[in-house]
A and B are shown apart, each in its own frame.
Chain A
Amino acid sequence: MSTLDKRMTAAEIVGRLSSGMTLGIGGWGPRRKPMALVREILRSDLKDLTIVSYGGPDVGMLCAAGKVKKLVFAFVSLDAIPLEPWFRKAREAGAIEVLELDEGMFQWGLKAAAFQLPFLPTRVGLGTDLVELGGLRTVQSPYDDGEVMVAMPALKLDAALIHVQRCDHRGNVQALGPDTYYDEWFAKAADQCFVSAEELVPAMEDAYPEDARANLFERCFVTGVTEAKGGAHPTSLPPDYGWDMGWFKKYAAAAKDPGDWASVAAQFVGASEAEYLASVGGMEAVGALPLPVF
């Protein structure tokens, strides 16, 4: 009988993935990204990945490292630095395939996958280049209105990666903060969902029962859990910490000079998570990063 103990190391989680997979990455731009798991992928041999992401530095770094075969996206941005420089380089070199979507279509595709449907209809995309460039098809309402809509295909994920504040050994998550974006739907659209957490506790009902409403999705959607303090760094994880603007500036500058990922990867990824965290000043420094205001 299963013990429901879903604890794994980050390396064990990445060991469950394989080249050619379709991976969904939670968060939004430079916010609440599962960066510790992304860094672990960057330390691995994985390649030819299809990445599905509301993109931030996760996408930029995976593109820069040559891990990406295809990207499904609506934007890639660091917010305060609007154009993600490494993503931009990859695109302008013609190095990756893309499926460009609208932000709303994107979550609609995750929902179609979550509901085990082939597609969901929407008006979004009509009158734009997305439909033809993306090879999207239309569907006609079978009712009297006869409306023709875009059939947004399910964005079925082999695996999803998500970072939250708290998780227990069985996969009961608590995602705090003002916005959890579409993390719930990444989890539900995936065959396997791996969660990193700032704090791993044995039993959520003993540790934080008062915050059960922060249980963003049920543990049946969670395959593996790991503790990763500062696991969203350099992206933000309100209310715990803001994004690291100094880090973003160095990372963006490196895209121009030297412009070569191999020579800067060690600085931005680290040989291990412990080394990475130490290199950015440890949790003391990460925890002091001011929350961004908009």
Chain B
Amino acid sequence: MATLAELCIAAVAEAFRTDRELVGTGIGPIPRLGVGLAKLTHSPGLMMTDGEAFLVEQPVPIGPRAYDDRKAAGYLPFSRFFDSAVWSGRRHAMVTPTQVDRFGQTNLSALGGTHAQPKTQMLGARGFPGNGIYHANSMFIPAHGPRVFVAGEVDRVSSPGYNPARRIAGGNYSAIDLKRIVTNLCVMDFGGPDNAIRVISLHPGVTFAEVEAATGFPLIDAVAGETPLPTDEQLAIIDRLDPHGIRHSVLAENPPAIRSAS
């Protein structure tokens, strides 16, 4: 039987469905497997890297491998990443921020304290500010809870969202394009009034009330049904892209896709 992680991978793949040729970046095992699955099924225009510098047409399996196993078809090093992928808008990235607020603003910088002395220093803004202003973005949250989906604003705004109070006259925010949030409970999008966050599908056995209780801000119920289970074809591809089973260690206790009746 499929696991919840595999259901999430299929949901990630759906988030990346596209007719365009653009770079699909999934940071972390579930997002990366989802992008690979999308590329190998419905969205062949997606471009992926080996995680280092080369573009590959066959997504590189995650986990230990020989250095030269990946077959380079193209070249996209960091040294031209902003020119080619980010600032051209030819990219869709899925990341896992530490905090997300109701505007879709995210935080990867620091928690609490002050800018001069944060309580918890994290990675830094990385490429989030540029990603957010220039190309499509989605999120994967492995443990849906109110410490991630915070009430109010995130502690530091690392990537922009749809917060009108953060916009200055004359600024161009037209490329802000937040697509999906895939969590261990549900799939959400930004399709509500003024881009408010909606729940669009619940994973099998999850209720809207449960999602609401695990979220620090109000959600819109736009549930159209259960998040689909991965097909046998999808499971076979996922297994090929994750030969070491790293996906099984992402979600706490690696639950099945369908909650047990107990």
Contacts and interface: CB of A to CB of B under 8 A. Distances in A.
A185 B39 CA distance: 34
A167 interface: no
Contacts of A87: 121
Interface of B is mostly: loop
Contacts of A290: 67
A123 B119 contact: no
B129 A83 contact: no
A94 B112 CA distance: 13
Contacts, number: 153
Interface in B124-140: 124-130, 132-134
Given A124-B134, A128-B158, A138-B168, A181 B118 contact: no
Contacts of B166: 127-128
Contacts of A130: 125, 129
Interface of A: 28, 55, 73-77, 82-83, 87-88, 91-94, 97-98, 100-105, 107-108, 123-130, 133, 138, 140, 146-149, 178-182, 184, 290-291, 293-294
A126 to B, nearest CB: 5
A73 B129 CA distance: 13
Interface of B: 50-54, 60, 64-67, 69, 77-79, 82, 86-87, 105, 109-110, 113-130, 132-134, 156-161, 163, 166-173, 175-176
B78 A28 contact: yes
Contacts of A92: 113, 117-121
Residue among A73, A108, A128 with most chain B CB within 10 A: A128
Contacts of B175: 123
B117 A93 contact: yes
B130 A102 contact: yes
Given A92-B117, A102-B125, A102-B128, A293 B65 contact: yes
Contact of B160 (A28, A74, A126): A126
A179 B53 contact: yes
A231 B112 CA distance: 38
B133 A100 contact: no
Given A124-B130, A128-B129, A148-B171, A91 B117 contact: yes
B173 A127 contact: yes
A101 B125 contact: yes
A103 B121 contact: no
28 contacts: A88-B121, A91-B121, A92-B117, A97-B116, A100-B109, A100-B124, A102-B127, A102-B130, A104-B86, A105-B129, A108-B82, A123-B134, A123-B171, A123-B175, A124-B134, A126-B167, A126-B171, A126-B172, A127-B161, A128-B129, A140-B170, A148-B168, A148-B169, A178-B54, A180-B79, A181-B77, A291-B67, A294-B50
A95 to B, nearest CB: 9
A74 B78 CA distance: 14
Nearest to B116: A94
B79 A73 contact: no
Contacts of A125: 129, 133
A83 B173 contact: no
B58 to A, nearest CB: 15
A181 B116 CA distance: 29
Contact of B173 (A91, A98, A126): A126
Contacts of B110: 91
A148 B119 CA distance: 34
A126 B134 CA distance: 11
Given A91-B117, A102-B130, A178-B77, A82 B168 contact: no
A28 B79 CA distance: 10
B52 A83 contact: no
A82 B124 CA distance: 11
Nearest to A182: B79
Going nearest first, the 8 A-B pairs with the smallest beta carbon separation are: A127-B160, A294-B51, A94-B117, A148-B170, A178-B53, A91-B121, A179-B77, A75-B124
